[in-house]
């Protein structure tokens, strides 16, 4: 077999429908269009099994099939000879195909009709190029040099803030990806929160999505990249499937006060797990208003990029917390006569913080903020270190593995976005100070009083 | 002609299928290994009991060899804009010389197909290449016709009715 499937993967993306021929044991051939062919590796593809039809009966009885595919950009046609091996009904391959099929179904007005029953795994026995003329094709991005530049930029990141910035900048500059976000897994493991984004009207920093919800949530839950080339606004796999979260009992726990960022007319989406040593840390998400914007090659490149972000995150977490000597305290300016203080409300039930009635943040980031402003009001402190916050019993980190630095970045970005008169300013490695423009009045709301 | 032997294909449906459908053909060899090729259009006989599909010899060599060997054939029609789909099967397929007007039918089929799929985002020049065949054997020498009596017709539009014989769903 001189042709390799890896070089022909774009043929499998469904831009031009594929057809599969099978044969019954009595010698009756059968032919049908097939919704989805999934690249598995250099020797295998998987076909979507949605209905128990003639194709399925045939391949169970006579497992050799022929598949006809077309390269959507060159018009080259290929015939693949396949041997059916087995059907998978769970796991990464199944989840990736299920998410993709939902996107295809929605695109074709077949939502509710297409439901993946299984992934029919097949070994590729032969690939034949069908005689015919073709046109040359130049990809939009040459993945390898783009990746090299991007990884070099990531390697120079000194802290989380610059790591996030460099990752998003690389997507824009090297991969021409204009809409992207990075979400982190909450250590409780049931949701992700947006830590950085680029190319959206509202950044959505601090917005949350449940595990298993939408393209992002499915990617995280299954630990596998999800790539969809056609997506309509009513797609079942659209990003804010709140109904799912409600049913899962997470509705009340998800932070719905900050909307998840997103393109109003997103057509292509891809979510890639950010992992390190087999542990899920977050998700890299990209999207585009163009159909079929992301190819298999893009998926490979961005999967490597996401993997590198994961290693860098782990490296930043695991390295002993570098700390510069504490700078001198700079107490904030005294409240000017007659100026009303900023009212900071803390709701103990979910550690949510409101500044003069405007929602800021909740959860771990909320408890960090509350501890710091408490220290400021009681002891006139403005200088803090990551290390002391990590050990502070008032801050209930859900887990040792929780990324404190990510919470600090989240909090700092929310303060800037809300135009708050409290800001966090880095003063050295592992140290920062609060800049407070007004006097603060703290109001603690105990859990039981939440309803009033 | 009695009720059961009448073609289940109405004149209007035949004309519809002769339009801009995506048409693909399967056959099989003596070991039941399937073969597959894209068709270059079709025509129904006047009584609509015989269906002829056009193939490129260079692109469909295995299908043509299998048809010559055993006559078993399956043809699927897909309407690109709706994904509606029908499959015709027969056991008496054989290769025939192109009839008068077939070359014109093929050329007009390709243009109709191109016209129908262009709004779906496919560049016209690229789609024409799918039917162009190899430069070494230009049409009409490259073109072949395979004719058979459809013994069974199925609707294959995805959904609950998929795979049902046509007379049950019409």
A236 pLDDT exceeds 50? no
A218 pLDDT exceeds 90? no
Q: What is the mean pLDDT of each run of 10 residues along chain B (170 residues)?
A: 60 94 97 97 95 96 98 96 90 96 95 90 87 80 95 78 56
- The answer to whether the CB of A117 falls within 8 A of the CB of A42 is no
Q: What is the pLDDT of residues A72-114, one digit of tens each?
A: 889 999 999 999 999 999 988 998 888 777 655 554 555 555 6
Closest Cα to residue B35, out of A79, A157, A44?
A: A79
- The answer to whether the CB of A219 falls within 8 A of the CB of A225 is yes
Identify the weakest region by mean pLDDT among A51-55, A132-136, A306-310, A435-439: A51-55
User: Which 54-93 residues of chain A touch chain B by CB within 8 A?
Assistant: 54, 62, 64-68, 70, 72-75, 77, 79, 81
Task: Name A107's Cβ contacts closer than 8 Å, sequence gap at least 6.
Answer: A230, A231, A232
Element (H, E) at B154: strand B152-155
Which chain B residue is nearest to residue A55, measuring alpha carbons?
A: B163
Rounded CA separation A14/A36 (Å) = 6
Percent of chain A with pLDDT over 70: 85
Rounded CA separation B84/B78 (Å) = 6
Place of tokens 């460099």: A166
**Chain B residues touching A27 at Cβ < 8 A:** 28, 32, 70, 72
Are the Cβ atoms of B134 and A53 closer than 8 angstroms?
A: no
Are the Cβ atoms of A31 and B74 closer than 8 angstroms?
A: yes
Rounded CA separation B131/A16 (Å) = 14
Identify the weakest region by mean pLDDT among A11-25, A62-76, A322-336: A322-336
Closest Cα to residue A268, out of A223, A310, A298?
A: A298
Is the four-CA dihedral A413, A416, A417, A418 of positive or negative sign? positive
How many residues comprise chain A?
452
Number of other CB atoms surrounding residue A219 within 10 Å: 31
pLDDT at A234: 36
Quote the minimal CA–CA distance from A80 to chain B in Å.
Answer: 10
Place of tokens 């009966």: A57
A52 pLDDT exceeds 90? no
Q: Diameter of chain B by CA atoms?
A: 49
State how beta strands A29-34 and A18-23 pair.
antiparallel
Q: Specify whether the backbone of A74 is left (phi greater than 0), alpha (psi in -120 to 50) or beta.
A: alpha
**Chain A residues touching B159 at Cβ < 8 A:** 110, 113
**Chain B residues touching A291 at Cβ < 8 A:** 121
Mutate to test the interface with B, among A75, A77, A230 (most CBs of B within 10 A): A75
A268 pLDDT exceeds 60? yes
- The answer to whether the CB of A434 falls within 8 A of the CB of A424 is yes
Best-predicted range by mean pLDDT among A67-71, A386-390, B166-170?
A67-71
Higher pLDDT, A336 or A419: A419
Mean pLDDT of A421-429: 90
Residue spans of beta strands (DSSP E) within A1-89: 18-23, 29-34, 37-41, 44-49, 64-70, 77-88
Percent of chain A with pLDDT over 90: 52
- The answer to whether the CB of A136 falls within 8 A of the CB of A262 is no
Average pLDDT along chain A: 85
**Chain A residues touching B32 at Cβ < 8 A:** 23-25, 27, 62, 64
Mean pLDDT of A298-312: 96
Tell me the β-bridge partners of B41. none
- Give the B-side interface with A, CB within 8 Å: 22, 24-28, 32-38, 56, 58-59, 70, 72-76, 78, 83, 85, 87, 89, 91, 121-122, 125-127, 129-130, 132-135, 156, 158-159, 162-163
């Amino acid at each position: 077999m001189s042709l390799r499937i890896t070089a022909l993967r774009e043929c499998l993306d469904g831009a031009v429908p594929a057809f599969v021929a099978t044969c019954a044991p009595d010698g009756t051939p059968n032919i049908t269009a097939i919704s989805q062919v999934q690249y598995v590796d250099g020797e295998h593809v998987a076909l979507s099994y949605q209905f128990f039809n003639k194709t399925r009966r045939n391949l169970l009885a006579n497992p050799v099939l022929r598949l006809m595919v077309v390269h959507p950009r060159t018009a080259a046609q290929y015939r693949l000879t396949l041997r059916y091996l087995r059907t998978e009904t769970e796991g990464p391959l199944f989840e990736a195909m299920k998410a993709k099929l939902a996107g295809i179904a929605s695109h074709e007005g077949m939502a509710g009709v297409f439901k993946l029953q299984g992934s029919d795994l097949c070994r590729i026995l032969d690939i034949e190029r069908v005689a015919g003329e073709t046109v040359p094709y130049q990809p939009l991005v040459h993945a390898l040099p783009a990746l090299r530049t991007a990884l070099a930029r990531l390697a120079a990141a000194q802290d989380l803030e610059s790591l996030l910035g460099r990752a998003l900048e690389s997507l824009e500059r090297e991969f021409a990806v204009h809409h992207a976000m990075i979400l982190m897994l909450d250590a409780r493991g049931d949701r992700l929160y947006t830590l950085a984004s680029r190319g959206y009207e509202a950044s959505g920093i601090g917005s949350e999505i449940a595990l298993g919800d939408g393209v992002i949530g499915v990617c995280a839950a299954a630990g596998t990249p999800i790539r969809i080339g056609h997506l309509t606004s009513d797609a079942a796999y659209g990003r804010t499937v709140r109904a799912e979260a409600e049913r899962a009992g997470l509705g009340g726990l998800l932070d719905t006060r900050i909307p998840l960022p997103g393109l109003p007319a997103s057509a292509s989406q891809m979510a890639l797990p950010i992992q390190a040593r087999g542990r899920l840390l977050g998700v890299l998400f990209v999207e585009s208003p163009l159909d079929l914007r992301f190819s298999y090659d893009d998926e490979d490149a961005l999967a490597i990029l996401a993997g590198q972000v994961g290693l860098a995150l782990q490296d930043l977490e695991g390295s002993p917390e570098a700390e510069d000597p504490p700078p001198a305290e700079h107490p904030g300016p005294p409240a000017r006569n007659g100026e009303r203080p900023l009212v900071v409300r803390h709701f103990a039930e979910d550690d949510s913080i409101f500044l003069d009635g405007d929602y800021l943040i909740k959860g771990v980031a909320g408890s960090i903020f509350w501890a710091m402003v408490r220290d400021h009001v009681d002891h006139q402190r403005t200088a803090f270190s990551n290390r002391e916050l990590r050990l502070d019993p008032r801050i209930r980190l859900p887990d040792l593995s929780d990324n404190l630095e990510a919470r600090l970045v989240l909090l700092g970005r929310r303060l800037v976005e809300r135009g708050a008169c409290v800001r966090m300013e880095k003063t050295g490695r592992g140290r920062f100070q609060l800049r407070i423009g007004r006097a603060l009045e703290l109001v603690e709301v105990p859990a039981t009083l939440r309803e009033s | 002609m009695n009720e059961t032997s009448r073609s289940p294909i109405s004149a209007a449906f035949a004309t519809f299928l002769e339009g801009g459908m995506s048409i693909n053909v399967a056959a099989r060899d003596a070991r039941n290994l399937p073969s597959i090729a894209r068709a270059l259009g079709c025509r129904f006989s006047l009584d609509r009991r015989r269906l002829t599909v056009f193939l490129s010899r260079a692109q469909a060599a295995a299908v043509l060899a299998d048809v010559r060997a055993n006559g078993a054939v399956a043809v699927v029609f897909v309407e690109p804009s709706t994904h509606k789909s029908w499959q015709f099967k027969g056991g008496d397929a054989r290769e025939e010389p192109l009839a008068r007007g077939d070359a014109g039918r093929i050329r007009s089929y390709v243009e109709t197909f191109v016209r129908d799929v262009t709004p779906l985002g496919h560049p016209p020049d690229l789609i024409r290449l799918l039917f162009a065949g190899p430069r070494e054997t230009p049409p009409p020498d490259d073109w072949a016709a395979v004719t058979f009596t459809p013994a069974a017709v199925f609707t294959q539009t995805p959904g609950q009715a998929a795979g049902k014989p046509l007379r049950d769903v019409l």
